[in-house]
């Protein structure tokens, strides 16, 4: 197990280097430091002198990858790529490019709390609702309930999440006046701002998830151990919950586990539409504002969380199925 973990961490570091390099190349293929400076300084009366000053203050006056003017190892280290990458691996996210005042680490800490308030209940409810709905369909398999349930699933997964948001906002805020259309408040007051996005996000994902789980459960239900359980005289409900669910856990863990990074990183679309100041909204703002410091920090953090969640998923396999060995 320990060997496995060490190896995974080693792979993880290599992946992070690759992700960091890839982000860097992609970002600077589309934007130049001059573009970033121009956008951040503002639209009117921008002079080249101001642009150069902006770049110097943020270290973008150096070559991106290779500094011909330097000697020895400084050719590689006295570059934008090196400066920006080394600090990331020390988890020092630094300050944003757009505004000197923003400490990215502080913003991530503050905003992660907000994102978690949206994502944790959503994650738990999503797993429970999808599994419950899928079990219900399997319980009533080959009946009209199953048929219309599957139709409903296909319908739900075919609709864009933006449609859910617009219809949800118009129905529950504009027509019924039950929840705010957009906004945020701290503490317990957050509940009324979270009800609608959680509900809509749940609904938008339910169809796809439930259909997937239903297929897994149906595959399990035809196996010998289920027949044996039934032959023992167990009720259908007990067969499903005690035997089928347990044996179908691995694909459920894989599917649910893939959402784990989003629990921390927030939802780009839902946070943006509902004015929730989480990490998802932070990323969107950084991209539109061409704030490379934030973009690379968030991509890096996302990659770390993906690697970590994959390790957690692997560990969870051993819990769900004792036959699985991590070597």
Q: Of the listed pieces 69-77, 115-123, 276-284, 298-306, which binds another protein according to CB under 8 A?
A: 276-284
- Using CB under 8 A as the binding rule, the residues of this chain from 92 to 151 that contact another protein are 94-95, 98-103, 106-107, 110, 136, 139-140, 143-145
- CA 51/CA 66 separation, integer angstroms: 22
- Using CB under 8 A as the binding rule, the residues of this chain from 160 to 219 that contact another protein are 166, 169-170, 173-185, 189, 191-193, 195
Write out the H or E segment, with its range, that includes residue 146. Answer: helix 144-158
Q: How far is the CB of 324 from another protein (least distance, A)?
A: 34
- CA 297/CA 303 separation, integer angstroms: 10
74 binds another protein (CB under 8 A): no
261 binds another protein (CB under 8 A): no
Q: How far is the CB of 281 from another protein (least distance, A)?
A: 7
311 binds another protein (CB under 8 A): no
Token representation of residue 305: 């969380």
Token representation of residue 306: 């993906």
- CA 66/CA 58 separation, integer angstroms: 18
Q: Which is nearer to another protein, 38 or 75 (CB)?
A: 38
327 binds another protein (CB under 8 A): no
Q: Tell which one of 24, 81, 282, 306 touches another protein (CB under 8 A).
A: 282
Q: Tell which one of 285, 305, 308, 321 touches another protein (CB under 8 A).
A: 285
Exposed, middle or buried, 321 (CB in 10 Å: 0-12/13-18/19+)?
middle
Q: Report CA-CA distances (Å) from 175 to 171, 197, 212, 232, 275.
A: 5, 17, 34, 54, 20
- CA 142/CA 171 separation, integer angstroms: 34
- CA 135/CA 218 separation, integer angstroms: 9
Q: How far is the CB of 48 from another protein (least distance, A)?
A: 6
Q: Of the listed pieces 70-78, 219-227, 268-276, 312-320, which binds another protein according to CB under 8 A?
A: 268-276
Q: How far is the CB of 14 from another protein (least distance, A)?
A: 28
């Amino acid at each position: 197990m320990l060997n496995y973990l060490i190896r995974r961490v080693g792979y993880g570091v290599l992946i992070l280097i690759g992700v960091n390099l890839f982000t860097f190349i992609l970002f600077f293929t589309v934007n130049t430091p001059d573009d970033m400076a121009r956008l951040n300084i503002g639209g009117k009366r921008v002079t080249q002198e101001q642009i150069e000053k902006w770049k110097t203050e943020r270290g973008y006056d150096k070559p991106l990858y290779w500094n011909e003017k330097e000697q020895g190892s400084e050719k590689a280290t006295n570059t934008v790529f090196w400066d920006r990458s080394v600090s990331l691996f020390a988890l020092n996210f630094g300050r944003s490019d757009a505004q000197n005042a923003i400490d990215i680490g502080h913003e991530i800490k503050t905003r992660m709390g907000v994102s978690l308030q949206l994502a944790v209940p959503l994650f738990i409810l999503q797993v429970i609702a999808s599994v419950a709905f899928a079990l219900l369909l399997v319980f009533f398999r080959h009946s009209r309930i199953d048929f219309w349930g599957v139709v409903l699933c296909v319908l739900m997964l075919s609709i864009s999440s933006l449609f859910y948001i617009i219809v949800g906002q118009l129905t529950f805020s504009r027509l019924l006046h039950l929840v705010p259309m957009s906004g945020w408040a701290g503490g317990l007051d957050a509940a009324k701002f979270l009800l609608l996005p959680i509900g809509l996000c749940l609904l938008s994902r339910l169809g796809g998830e439930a259909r997937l789980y239903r297929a897994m459960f149906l595959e399990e239900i035809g196996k010998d151990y289920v027949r044996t359980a039934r032959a023992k005289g167990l009720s259908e409900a007990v067969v499903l919950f005690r035997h089928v669910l347990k044996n179908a856990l691995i694909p459920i863990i894989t599917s649910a586990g893939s959402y784990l990074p989003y629990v921390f990183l927030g939802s780009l679309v839902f946070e943006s539409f509902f004015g929730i100041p989480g990490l998802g909204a932070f990323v969107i703002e950084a991209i539109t504002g061409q704030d490379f410091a934030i973009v690379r920090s968030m991509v890096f953090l996302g990659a770390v969380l993906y690697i970590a969640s994959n390790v957690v998923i692997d560990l969870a396999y051993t819990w769900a199925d004792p036959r699985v060995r991590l070597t």
